[in-house]
Amino acid sequence: MSLEGYRGKALDILSKLNVNIGDIIEISRDSFKIKGILMPSYSRDDSIIVIKMENGYNVGISVDNSKISVLEKRIQKPLNVMPEKEEKSEVKIISTGGTIASKIEYETGAVRPALSTEEIIQFMPEINEIAKISAEILFSILSENMSPDKWIKIAEAIKSAFDKGNLGVVIAHGTDTLAYTAAALSFSLKKLQGPVVLVGSQRSSDRPSSDSPINLYSSVLLAKKAPFGEVVINMHGESSDLYTLAHRGVKVRKMHTSRRDAFQSINDKPLAKVLWLEKEIKILRPDYHTKDEETTVDSKFDNRVFLLKYYPGFDPSFIDYLVDTKKIRGIIIEGTGLGHTSTELLDSFKKAAKDGIFLGMTSQCIFGRVNMNVYTTGRLLQQVGVVPLEDMLPEVALVKLMWVLAHENDIEKIKNLMLTNLVGEINSRHSLDFFPRWYHE
């Protein structure tokens, strides 16, 4: 195997030791001693060796005045990514891009997307000890460029992976729109032969504090061994590196711009906790969807929808404009509190409803559910055609509406489907345990 990224002094020393990327080495200097897995180098300094320590962090150490010993030869050929034509894989990794598929360009300081899946695996060679892996690069995009047509292609790739005998599928994806994709796949894949695990990272793979290796490792573990046939998002469960949490794909939101434990189940409990060091999956709730004998895809979306966030002073003419364009079939409203907007919007909503446009109400509050029967404003909004959508997250309601509109034209059937709990997007009852992080205890 080539010693990727190494040159100069570091390359000379490693070559003489006949060491490869993925081997376990020990570096000692005076009383200092550290061991770990040899990783690729992206440093400008040709004396630096990069190793992954047992805690999952990468560290760079100069070879100057250091003694290097090879403790274990682990990989003798370029990655154990199984070519599908040679042997069936157990877990398929499908890469769509994002930070988990990114690294730093040290020349510019920028983070670039579109690492190959093989490069991703280099950052966590241990995943090859869990399962036989095959890999596919479906897209190489930043998550803000994700779209419904790409959701369809992801769903089809997942179906193909299960048809080829994989036990589970891991989708590498950028975090910013990860919840949208998870919801889209949840509605598209209501029958699954195994877990579909969406995973991202908040920090690129070659940064010392990266969550990428642990997230990827635990996701492969989930994909192979979890008992459910559902779409989940699996990310760090707390700020350190002890465990990850698998959140149901229609009940999860990114709650922080940069924290590694940014993802959280909303109005719900996670499905599972992954103790990656122990290689243990702890199921946290019994009501998961069990695996089906076959995987079916029903992936159609109509994106003629609009997500309207109400704010004081909102101009009703904006709604009138949307209706007059004749390009909108549905509006999801992010109302205040229990599901309210100004009564000045009533006439515009009434006109929209008469034109056959579905109007669904969600809340700007993170936790809780809408209840439009408590105050007069809520009752008036219902009278003009606004439908309260229980505890659905606004982005999940939007994706669900896209899916429903692609399957139905009758407004009453659309309303009924939007109020039907299809894949766990509606929770019939709430507990204070859901607010906000009971699972850290």
List the domain boundaries for the chain. 8-72, 81-283, 305-419
| 343 in active site | no
Mind listing the pLDDT tens digit for each residue in 8-60?
888 889 888 888 888 889 999 888 888 888 877 766 788 888 887 877 667 88
- The 8-class DSSP code of residue 96 comes to E
| 175 in active site | yes
Structurally, at CATH architecture level, domain 81-283 sits in 3-Layer(aba) Sandwich (3.40)
Average pLDDT of the segment spanning 58-64: 84
Residue 435: pLDDT band with limits 50, 70, 90: low
Rounded to whole angstroms, the Cα distance separating 124 from 122 reads 5
Rounded to whole angstroms, the Cα distance separating 125 from 80 reads 8
Instruction: Please report, rounded to a whole number, the percentage of residues in the chain having pLDDT higher than 90.
Output: 59
| 254 in active site | yes
Q: What is the 3-state secondary structure (H, E, C) of 279-322?
A: CEEEECCCCCCECCCCCECCCCCCCCEEEEECCCCCCCHHHHHH
| CATH for the stretch 8-72 | 2.30.30.520
| CATH for the stretch 305-419 | 3.40.50.40
Can you read off the two tokens belonging to residue 54? 């047992």
Whole-angstrom CA distances from 133 to 10, 110, 198, 253 are 30, 30, 16, 28
Would the pLDDT of 412 be above 70? yes
Whole-structure pTM value: 0.80
Mind listing the pLDDT tens digit for each residue in 293-319?
999 999 999 999 999 999 999 999 999
pLDDT for residue 97:
80
Residue 7: pLDDT band with limits 50, 70, 90: confident
Mind listing the pLDDT tens digit for each residue in 207-223?
555 767 788 899 999 99
Q: Which of 99, 117, 295, 341 is catalytic?
A: 99
Q: Which of 254, 269, 273, 291 is catalytic?
A: 254
Q: Which of 9, 45, 153, 176 is catalytic?
A: 176
pLDDT for residue 80:
47
